[in-house]
Amino acid sequence: MPELDPVLLSDARTLAAYLIFFGSYFVFALGKFPGMKIDRPGAAIIGAVLMVAFRIVGAQEALQSIDSPPSCCSFP
């Protein structure tokens, strides 16, 4: 398999990032994806998975970006 030019690969990832971002926000604005049962939370999950799949965001970086609530049972 021939090697890909790093600049071309970078440009492809940038284009993919923009398409995923704007596609997700399109669904956020409409509330649902036309003709499918994909709502806002579904679009957010699909967008996040695509960002990791296209290596725009690393898996570890994506996991660290999750804002989880503090533990429910911790006492001072």
pLDDT exceeds 70 at position 72: no
Domain residue spans of the chain: 6-61
3-61 pLDDT, tens digit each: 656 666 688 888 999 999 999 998 888 888 778 888 888 889 999 999 999 988 998 99
Query: Closest Cα to residue 47, out of 69, 13, 23, 12?
Result: 23
Q: How much is the pTM?
A: 0.72
> What's the distance, CA 64 to chain centroid?
14
User: In this structure, how many other beta carbons lie within 10 angstroms of the beta carbon of residue 24?
Assistant: 19
pLDDT of residue 34: 77
